[in-house]
Every structure is written in C-alpha cells, then in structure tokens.
Structure 1
Amino acid sequence: MPTISQKGQLMPQSPIRKLVPYAEKAYQEGKVVYHLNIGQPDIKTPEVALDAVKVHSLDILAYTRSEGSDGYRDKIAAYYNNHDIKVTKEEIIVTTGGSEALLFAFGSIMDTDDEIIIPEPFYANYNGFSTASGVNIVPVISKIEDNFALPPIEEFEKLITPKTKAILICNPGNPTGYLYSKEEIQKLAAIVKKHDLFLIADEVYREFAYDGVSHYSIMQEESIQEHAIMIDSVSKRYSMCGARIGCLVSKNKQIIATALKFAQARLSPPTLAQIASEAALQTPQSYFTDVIDEYVDRRDTLISELEKIEGVKVAKPKGAFYCIVELPVKNSDDFAQWLLENFDVNGETIMVAPAAGFYSTPGVGLNQIRIAYVLNKESLVKAVNILKEALKVYKD
C-alpha cells in the first residue's frame, strides 16, 4: 500500500478544531454548547461589505491580478497611510487570508531546515505552516506570570544560529491577547538588524488594542524596512472570516518579487471577496469604537468571573479577543473532551481550546486552555459558571 509523506504524518492537528466531532455529538444529544474555542466574532459584518457583493455588476467572475486588484491595493495602502504606515500598493500582495500570506513569507525567506524564532504560546497554525514549509520553529517561552510579555532579548540571542532566518510575532497576540509596546518592537528591530534577520509581524488584530494603548507596527520602524514583513487580514477587523482575504506587506522589493511568484502559482485571490473587502474599507471609525468598547466589556466580565474560581490563573489581555487560562488539571485535552462528552449544567456545556497546541515545546501548556471571548456577556458568565462547576467534579 502506498504511504503518505513524512511531512503529512508530522502535520499537527488543529487544537481549535480537533474537538469538533465531540461537539457535534453533544448537539445530537440535545446539549447547548458555548463555543469559547474559536475566534469567530459574533459582531455583524459591516453592511457596506455585504451589499457590495449583492449589487456587483460583474458579467464574468474572472481572475484578478495575482497580487490583487489595483483598486483594492490602492485603498489598502490608503488605509495604512492613515495609520502612519507609509506604503504603496506595489508593496502589498493580496492573499487568500492571512494564512496564505504567512505561507508566502515562509516560502520567500526560508529553505528546508532553516529556523524561525517565535515567542510561545503562539497561533497554533504556525506549527502547521512551519511543517508545510519544511522549516523548524525555535521557541522562546513567554510566561503567564509575566502576562506573556516579550521575553528578554538575551533569550532570543541565545537561540540564534547560522540557520536562523527570522523572528515571528503576533501583535496583538493570539492566543495570549498580549500587545507589544513600542519599546518591545524597537528591541526586536535592533536584534534583527544586528543579526541580519527578517522580522515578521502577524498584525491581523491591530484594531483591537485596549486601555488607551495604541498598536505600534513593525512597519513604523524605518530602520528595518528591508527586514520587515507584515501579515494582515480582514477576517477579524471586519468580522469577515469567511472572506479569506489577507495581505503580505513589505518595503523589501526582493520579498515582494519573490512572494509574487508564489501568488502567480495559485493564480489569484478570490474576486468577490476582494470586492467585499474593498467596500469594507469604507466602514466608519465609529464601528471600531463600538466593537472595541464591546470587547473590553467582555474581557473585563470574563476575567472577573474567572478570577473567582479557586485554582485558576488567567493573564489579562491587552488586545485581540483571547486569553490563556491555567487550570487545576493535569491535561486540558482530556478535560476539554470530557466537558463535551460527559458534563453539562442543565443541558449546557462549553467547548474550549487546549493550549498545548499553541506551544511547540513538548509538555508545556498541558494545564492551560485558550478562551476566545467572542460571545455576549451573558453567555460568557454562563460559560464560566459551567467551567467552575466542572472543575468541582472533574478527576484527572
């Protein structure tokens, strides 16, 4: 019998989606499941984006340019310039979600067995992207005790080898919700310049910065224009996860030229989704003000309720809409499955994301979960109460 590839065997399962069969079984049993496991906002997509697709005048649903349509890239560039990120449309490649932008970045700057340093815990699919690209993640651990702040730069320098090609951060962070300060970004800028590395920043949550603190982009650091690669997406900003439109941004002409070859190989990003994404750029600032106020309210409610549970430790997010929670259990994978299979409160249970999948270091994060606070406050309170009751009876 033919065998599958070693790469395929090593490809990790998603810690966010692997519990879906157990959730579906819970539905079949008539249970209500509160989804805390996935970053699918319940905020409505701006109507201007949906209307643009409804009323389009296309006669043929044709390919667009491999780098994305001129009109859309012009408007993305204008959006960035309004946020003090000075780029042109020629420095932007539109991708099928931020995921493809990351794959293009990996393919453009790294060869098989090259290394990329990432503070962990990190977005779980970075493990999958590195496996698919044949590169190795070298983790530098950030800790819940420090609210997942940037580890000391000395810890990064210890890990740099001749195989190291880049440092990757998510800012604000998924799964931690940590927002890197300007000073932390400047420390990273200094180290990539010193060691001639690339700095990749996944900035898809840039609009979601809380407590009066502004997001600071790596693209604002003029000293590393040849080193910086920014990843972005409309998924979270406009609650358009299903559009699958993202982009790769860099002022390094070689990066753009190389990424374009990967873009040409997959032909073009989806046409209708670009139309919706271009229209979404007309969304007024009031939309984001309201959304941020809502997420801050949800965050504060969630943290307050979690802190009432004995034995639970939680880091307070400064951005995005996730937090890491440490539980008094040995294995959160087993606990998460048990919640769906064997536990409910009046016919209701919860689905969480075990956090071990957000690390690449074996054995780390086994007693942690990620919670996405994408539900309304009433549902969050109910969900945390279910968690509290579950921990009273769960046995490892």
Structure 2
Amino acid sequence: MKFSHKIQQCGLSPMRKFYPYEVAAEAKGLRVHHLNIGQPDIETPRAFFDAARDFGETVLAYAPAPGVEVYLEAVRDYYARLGYPITCDEILATYGGSEALQIVLPCVLDEGDEILIPEPFYPNYDTFVRVTGAAIRPIPTSAEEGYRYADRARIEPLINEHTRAILITNPGNPTGVVLTPEERRLMVDIAKEHDLLLISDEVYREIVYGDEAPSSMLEFTDAAENVAVVDSISKRFSATGARVGALISRNKELMGQAMKLCQGRLCAATLDQVAAAALYRKMDAAYYAGVREEYRRRKDAVVAALNRVPNVQFSEPEGAFYLMVTLPVDDAEKLQYFLLEEFQDQGETVMYAPGEGFYGEPGKGRNEIRIAYVTNPDDLTRSIELLGLGIRAYNSRKQ
C-alpha cells in the first residue's frame, strides 16, 4: 500500500509516543509519574455530569452542523462577560480545540503555502499543518529572552509570497508566555498589514499568574477579517475527555468555508455540547480564580524543585501549565527511554515530553523537555526529584 507523502512527513506525538514503554514499566511494578501530558487531575465540575444525566431526549440525534443552540449561546454569553461581544453565527462547535485547528487550517492553506508559528510550538500543530500540504516557518525564540516573539523585526522578515497565516498560543504551550496588550496589538497589526489570518489558540485563557485579566484577540474589532480564535472546555474546566471546543471568527466568509468541513463531519457530539453549556452557565468568577490559584501552587512547586536540580535551565512561565527545561544531557529522548527501561528509585520513575518534537528544525531542542505541571504539588516535587536522580544516573552510566 502506498501512503501519502503528507502523512509520512508527520511524526508521532512526543507526549504520547512512549506509552508502550510506560505500560511495560508499570507491568514490572513501577509507579510512573507523569509530566508528559496536559491531563489535569483537578475535578471536572459536577455541572457537566448533572447536565448529561438530566438529558431528557428519547433519541440522541445529530446536532446541527454549527453546534447545539444551547452550547452556542453559552459560548456567546461567556465571551460577552469577558467584554467581547460575538453572535452565535460567529461560533462553530468542534471536537475540542484540535478539530477547530483541523477545520480552520485547510480553509487558508494550500500545497506549498507557509504559516508562521513561534518556536517551540505544540507538536500537533505540525501534524495539522503538514496534512494540508503547507509548511511551518518557525518564529525563533529563546529561553534567555523569555520566549518572547511579538517583535516586528523578528516576524516580518519571515513573511513572503507563500505566507498565509500566523498561529499563536496565548497563554503559550509549551513556553508559558503571556502576550502583553501591546504585543497582542502588534500581532494583529502585522496580520492586517500583510493580509494574513491570525489564528489565536486561547484554550488556557484563564490560567495566568500576573494581575492581567483574561484576554482574547477578539478584542480587536478592527481586525475582524484577520482573526480566528480556537477555544475548548478541556483545560478551562478540566474536561479533556469531553472533546468540546469552538472555532470563533467575525470573518463571515471564513466561517462559511469552515462550514463545509463542519457539515462533512456531520456534527460535534450532541450530549457533550449540552453538558459543556452547563459548565459555561454555572461556573462563575470564583471558580476560575480557584483554578488559577491551584495552578499557581503547582507552578511554584515545579519551579522550586527544578531550582534544586543541578545545571538545568528554564524560564518561569507566566501562564498555562507548561514549561520548557534544558537538561544537562546529550539527548532527552534517550534519557526518557533510560528512565522507563532501566531507572527506578524506590519503585518509581518519571515521564516527560522530549523537546525535539516542539521544534521545526531537526535536532533542535534535543536536550530540552516540556513539563506539564498538572498534578498536585507533592507529586510534582517528587517527579522533579526523580528527574534529577535519573539525570545523574544516566550521565554516570555514560562515563
């Protein structure tokens, strides 16, 4: 069988590719601590399960292709409370933020086109772009500069006749960068001036550690034609398994093109949309504040633990629940195999996401990892301790 060159260019997820090795380690009786995947252990609010349980229809029917009315209205009202008025026909329900990207990218990317993405970036972006036939042109950043990328002199030289869009995550995955108001304005201006679509992945919107209020690129009404927002209930409500998200844009022509794909996949899950609507309706500002404070505790625990590991380098995150870390090893992926196959301390070991998959250039990020701090502070502290012990054992073995 001949497979497409597009799919063959895609790689496995660095967050999930080590799952068989995890299973083997656990079969040997080891406890594996998880730093590899953004799966929070914060309880999903009961409102989701109550709404699903109270679903009164006798037939679980197809939802309308754009989404269930109660869900679209709940998303609309959520944005209104944030100060960003939108209408229901500017929202499309999707299977999480991932499908929102899989819908919007083919709308603007053809074979040979390019999209700018700050690097390091969420690895699945690479898969979603490659299957369109387009390519990522990375916007380079560095830990020494705090992974800042909203700089005209850094971005504009990368724009050429093939450039169609810019994709950002704010707050950032995997860097934890949060754009300032001035940086958000600059990104919008660049998109407008060069007639590009700015796709803003905002699934971590409420998880910020400074004093700033949650923001959205929807604030720039003068850029209605140039902005599309990707959103999801996965992180906001710790409901990753529900797979409910949204593609939002005031660009009516874009949304009309996106509707073709929404109709082609028929609909997002009816029951999950109804339950997701209850989350938006019933979770108030106090809920978001509590979640944000819990992630702050977890971030502080990871930072404190990393500061006790010799010769690691990192930039403290401003938002989301990830950080990139440079390790004193030759290859973070080889270290991961070692941790799962050969290392243990008191019957425990640890997983993370090797950093090379977060870069477009092969070999870059080879001694970096992404940490997801989504478990309780004590578990995170132990996970980083295991990482430090594992690094020492790995480097000692090679001497």
Counterpart mapping for 1:5-20 below 5 A: 5-20=4-19
TM-fit CA distance, 1:330 = 1.4
SS at match of 1:204: coil
Q: Is the 8 A contact 2:339 2:390 kept in 1?
A: yes
Distance 2:37 2:92 in 1: 27
Q: Does 1:379 align with 2:379?
A: yes
1:265-285 CA distances to partner (integer Å, 9 max, x unpaired)?
Answer: 000000111011011111122
Moved more, 358-367 or 261-270: 358-367
Q: Is the 8 A contact 1:189 1:223 kept in 2?
A: no
- The residue aligned with 1:370 is 370
SS at match of 1:294: helix
- The residue aligned with 2:290 is 290
Q: Is the 8 A contact 1:199 1:229 kept in 2?
A: yes
1:305-332 CA distances to partner (integer Å, 9 max, x unpaired)?
Answer: 1012111011111111111111001111
TM-fit CA distance, 1:394 = 1.0
Distance 2:250 2:310 in 1: 49
- The residue aligned with 1:142 is 141
TM-fit CA distance, 1:151 = 5.0
Counterpart mapping for 1:255-294 below 5 A: 255-281=254-280, 282-294=282-294
Q: Is the 8 A contact 1:142 1:151 kept in 2?
A: no
- The residue aligned with 1:168 is 167
Distance 1:346 1:277 in 2: 41
- The residue aligned with 1:236 is 235
- The residue aligned with 1:250 is 249
SS at match of 1:232: strand
* RMSD of aligned residue pairs (Cα, Å): 1.0
Q: Is the 8 A contact 1:119 1:151 kept in 2?
A: no
Counterpart mapping for 1:1-396 below 5 A: 2-281=1-280, 282-395=282-395
SS at match of 2:131: helix
1:99-151 CA distances to partner (integer Å, 9 max, x unpaired)?
Answer: 11001111111211111000011111001001111111000111111121125
Q: Is the 8 A contact 2:139 2:149 kept in 1?
A: no
TM-fit CA distance, 1:358 = 0.8
SS at match of 1:394: helix
Distance 1:12 1:151 in 2: 28
Q: Is the 8 A contact 1:228 1:250 kept in 2?
A: yes
Distance 1:286 1:129 in 2: 35
Distance 2:212 2:389 in 1: 35
Q: Is the 8 A contact 1:176 1:323 kept in 2?
A: yes
SS at match of 1:62: coil
Q: Match for 2:64: what amino acid?
A: R
Q: Match for 2:324: what amino acid?
A: I
1:141-182 CA distances to partner (integer Å, 9 max, x unpaired)?
Answer: 111111211253212111111110011100001111111111
Query: Any gaps of 5 or more consecutive residues in structure 1?
Result: none
Q: Match for 2:373: what amino acid?
A: Y
Moved more, 275-284 or 150-159: 150-159
The ranges of structure 1 where at least 4 consecutive aligned residues each deviate by more than 2 angstroms after the TM superposition are 213-216
Distance 2:7 2:220 in 1: 38
Distance 1:69 1:159 in 2: 40
Report the identity percentage.
Answer: 41
1:178-220 CA distances to partner (integer Å, 9 max, x unpaired)?
Answer: 1111111111111111111111100000011112122331110
SS at match of 1:213: coil
Distance 1:44 1:19 in 2: 26
| Equivalences, count | 395
Mark the CA change 1:83 to 1:151 in structure 2 (over 3 Å): closer, same or farther.
closer
Moved more, 347-356 or 359-368: 359-368
Q: Match for 2:59: what amino acid?
A: I
Q: Is the 8 A contact 1:172 1:205 kept in 2?
A: yes
Distance 2:333 2:38 in 1: 18
Distance 2:113 2:208 in 1: 33
Q: Is the 8 A contact 2:138 2:360 kept in 1?
A: yes
TM-fit CA distance, 1:6 = 1.4
Q: Is the 8 A contact 1:172 1:178 kept in 2?
A: yes
> TM-score, normalised on structure 2?
0.97
Distance 1:129 1:73 in 2: 25
Moved more, 150-159 or 140-149: 150-159
Q: Is the 8 A contact 1:309 1:388 kept in 2?
A: yes
Distance 2:255 2:41 in 1: 34
> TM-score, normalised on structure 1?
0.98
Query: Any gaps of 5 or more consecutive residues in structure 2?
Result: none
1:237-273 CA distances to partner (integer Å, 9 max, x unpaired)?
Answer: 1111011111100000001111011100000000111
